[in-house]
Amino acid sequence: MPRTSQHALARYSRPPRATLGARPKLEGDPVSTSPSSPTLSPLHRLSALGQSVWIDFLSRSSIRGGHLQELLDQDAVVGATSNPSIFQKAMTEGDAYDEQLHELAGEGVEGKEVFWRLAEQDIKDACDLFRPIWDAGLGRDGYVSLEVDPNLAYDAPATFAEAMRLHKAVDRPNLMVKIPATKPGLAAIEDAVAAGKSINVTLIFSLRRYAEVAESYIRGLERLVASGGDPSKVASVASFFVSRIDTEADRRLDEIGGHDDLKGRLAVANAKLAYKHYSATFRGPRWQFLAAKGATTQRVLWASTSTKNPDYLDVIYVEDLIGPDTVNTMPEETVRAYQDHGGPQVRLEDGVTEAQGLIDELAAAGVDYDDVTETLEREGVEKFADAFSGLLEALAEKRTQFAAV
């Protein structure tokens, strides 16, 4: 079994609770889990507040060379996410994939299947690395995410079929298949959950879409329970893309002119309102029925948390979004920045009333919230589809080189 940080395993000495609230001290925790403890790093202190740290990065060299293990050991990382852009960078740089590419060329494997064979091997290896965390926490963390073909984002039946295929191909209980939160994607999400599969719902920008995602998850669990399935074997996160919202809103404010006091605020406000909806959704009789059957809440995951604007604090999308029963998946540069100067405190429920007021202020200034989020959803799918196409082209070129040898 892969070696895993005792700090990471200590969080999961007992089953996680399906209800909201800061986690209690567990047997096997470090000597102090106080967020103010000087013996723990900033990310370990953040983790003690109930937020899980995942890494938004994956590559064969990081998995096999020990770097990913170092992130588990030193930086409180308990999960990993990937996407077409991440794989595009990983697979087209260096020679870590050359040996398998040569083998696939010899087998006559072509086209998209080359990518899937490479990606599935990476995800299997990463899942095995995180498996002790998954086992110790009874499936709350320790997940690795793999995204469906982004070109299927508006085809619900094809997305569902792809999600089922990927779960079968990887064959690891701590795999989460990522499904984009497009309108057609909602049906695929519900069907996959109803089939007992763990899903990372990605590319969420709007509060309306998030409410639909949460409803799809709950309906899927209800169908699973009605069919005699075990909801305790299903996990899900709802991935809210954060920094891109400020980038787009700020761009529009620049075009309008003035209103500098409104810049750099919408992303955090949006996330706070999403967490408010989460807190209201996963409680009450409907949810308690599912929780009694073993279901766990669909945690909100903060994605796209690197700071794009150099005028903003480089850890703003970590510091302002800390709260219990949440996940923050960070690129490594954000991990390094937070370990250097992060100051973890629970802030996620602060200023919620002002958050709604900000959306109204932006509307008065001429920034349409619905149009911002719809634009970002559409562009998000397009960006991942473009990255996927570019990756396939690069792999085809490499494969041709190996086939000619």
**Are 281 and 287 a contacting pair, CB within 8 Å?**
yes
The angle formed by the CA atoms of residues 338, 341 and 344, to the nearest 5 degrees, is 70
Q: What is the model's pLDDT at position 32?
A: 40
Assess if residue 27 is contained within a domain.
no
How does pLDDT run along the chain (405 residues), one tens digit per residue?
444 444 444 444 323 323 333 323 333 333 344 555 668 999 999 999 999 999 999 999 999 999 999 999 999 999 999 999 999 999 988 899 999 999 998 899 999 999 999 999 999 999 999 999 999 987 899 999 999 999 999 999 999 999 999 999 999 999 999 999 999 999 999 999 999 999 999 999 999 999 999 999 999 999 999 999 999 999 999 999 999 999 999 999 999 998 999 999 999 999 999 999 999 999 999 999 999 999 999 999 999 999 999 999 999 999 999 999 999 999 999 999 999 999 999 999 999 999 999 999 999 999 999 999 999 999 999 999 999 999 999 999 888 877 665
Assess if residue 126 is contained within a domain.
yes
* CA 137 to the chain's CA centroid: 18
Assess if residue 13 is contained within a domain.
no
Query: Domain span at residue 302?
Result: 42-404
Number of domains in the chain: 1
d(CA 326, CA 53): 9
d(CA 48, CA 51): 7
Cross-strand bridge partners of residue 145: 176
Provide the token pair at 359: 């959306």
What CATH number did the domain enclosing 381 receive? Answer: 3.20.20.70
Assess if residue 18 is contained within a domain.
no
Q: What is the model's pLDDT at position 27?
A: 32
Residue with tokens 């150099």: 310
Assess if residue 149 is contained within a domain.
yes
Residues with catalytic roles: 178
Task: Give the dihedral sign, CA 64/68/73/79.
Answer: negative
By CB atoms closer than 10 A (0-12, 13-18, 19+), residue 37 is middle
d(CA 245, CA 192): 28
String of b and e for 247-259 (b: at least 16 CB within 10 Å)? Answer: ebbbebbeeeeeb
**Are 53 and 73 a contacting pair, CB within 8 Å?**
no
Q: What is the model's pLDDT at position 38?
A: 62
Assess if residue 28 is contained within a domain.
no
Assess if residue 254 is contained within a domain.
yes
Assess if residue 249 is contained within a domain.
yes
| Dihedral angle of Cα 358, 360, 361, 362, to the nearest 10 degrees | 90
**Are 71 and 4 a contacting pair, CB within 8 Å?**
no
d(CA 304, CA 203): 10
